[in-house]
Amino acid sequence: MAVGIFDSGLGGLTVLEAVQKRLPEVPFVYYGDNAHAPYGVRTADDIYALTTKGVQRLFDEGCDLVVLACNTASAAALRRMQEGWVPKGKRVLGVFVPLIEALTERRWGDNSPPREVEVKHVALFATPATVSSRAFQRELAFRAIGVDVEAQACGGVVDAIEEGDMMLAEALVRSHVDALKRKMPAPDAAVLGCTHYPLLAKAFADALGPDVRVLSQPELVAESLADYLGRRPAFIGGGESALLTTGDPRKVSDRATQFMRRPMTFTAA
């Protein structure tokens, strides 16, 4: 069966691209909830309701394993889903842990006590809901000590990307990086904690300057999924790849084609 990839909209395509490249033999079904993006300004209950609906659609499509390629859903809904909603035989994974494992120099399944790591000052760029969940700081505290995190809620960026207004999105990135630097003038690493942000990786890198290491999720998630499927090959099977959206398929296909620089054809979810 295919592996499901879920996001509120176009951002998860950055993850889809990386997992397709890393695992070319695996079929993927993508679900973008473009009709309800952005999630980052919604309440946790709202994000939970929308995420379970989308993931259920992917289960109905035959996916037994779904990756939430959305930090906002991973931060606000995943734990609640895993605790009482995910049916037997199905799995839902988030995108937070691979990122934090990379930042804290850990391998999957290393549950040893938190320890000092090289990175000391981390700038987190994410949606307002992800920032207010403090899920990043919580996951980091399980693994590392002595790391100072300054989080910047990047209001407006996802809306601008979904609308295709990249000039506005880039201007917003510059102003969010300035705001972050006023709070933390010299971060040694920056985390792009929203899957939409790799579409603006250059704007972030230019605004942050050459001394800041920028961690972006797609490749880290792809590596971690390859490792997961290596340990659980039963989740790899047949099935057809597909691109589903709750939005207008034509509009979403056009934007996706423009961002990914290859033809992307969505159908109604």
| Least CB distance to ligand DGL at residue 176 (A) | 14
| Site membership for ligand DGL, residue 194 (CB under 6 A) | yes
Phi and psi, residue 154, nearest 5°: -95, 70
| Site membership for ligand DGL, residue 245 (CB under 6 A) | no
Given candidates 195, 216, 224, 246, which one binds ligand DGL under the rule CB under 6 A?
195
Sign of CA dihedral 112, 114, 118, 124: positive
| Site membership for ligand DGL, residue 11 (CB under 6 A) | yes
- Taking the C-alpha atoms of residue 250 and residue 109, their distance in angstroms, rounded to an integer, is 42
Beginning with the edge strand found earlier in the chain, give each strand of the sheet holding 242-245 in spatial order: 91-93, 65-68, 3-7, 28-32, 242-245, 267-268
Upper half-sphere CA count for residue 64 (Cβ side, 13 Å):
13
| Site membership for ligand DGL, residue 7 (CB under 6 A) | yes
Q: Identify whether 63 is a catalytic site residue.
A: no
Q: Give me the amino acid identity at 180.
A: L
- Taking the C-alpha atoms of residue 68 and residue 55, their distance in angstroms, rounded to an integer, is 8
- Please pick, among 15, 70, 129, 243, the residue that the annotation labels catalytic: 70
Of the candidate spans 52-60, 137-145, 188-196, 238-246, the one that interacts with ligand DGL by CB under 6 A turns out to be 188-196
- Please pick, among 37, 194, 229, 236, the residue that the annotation labels catalytic: 194
Between residues 1 and 269, which has the closer beta carbon with respect to ligand DGL? Answer: 269
Q: Identify whether 70 is a catalytic site residue.
A: yes
The total of other beta-carbon atoms located within 10 Å of residue 69's CB is 30
| CA-angle at 144, arms to 207 and 135, nearest 5° | 65
Q: Give me the amino acid identity at 206.
A: D
| Least CB distance to ligand DGL at residue 141 (A) | 21
| Site membership for ligand DGL, residue 71 (CB under 6 A) | yes
CB 99 within 8 A of CB 191: yes
Among residue numbers 115 through 174, which ones bind ligand DGL (CB under 6 A)? Answer: 127, 130, 158
| Least CB distance to ligand DGL at residue 222 (A) | 15
| Site membership for ligand DGL, residue 37 (CB under 6 A) | yes
Residues of this chain that bind ligand DGL (CB under 6 A): 7-9, 11, 37-40, 70-72, 127, 130, 158, 194-196
Active site residues: 70, 194
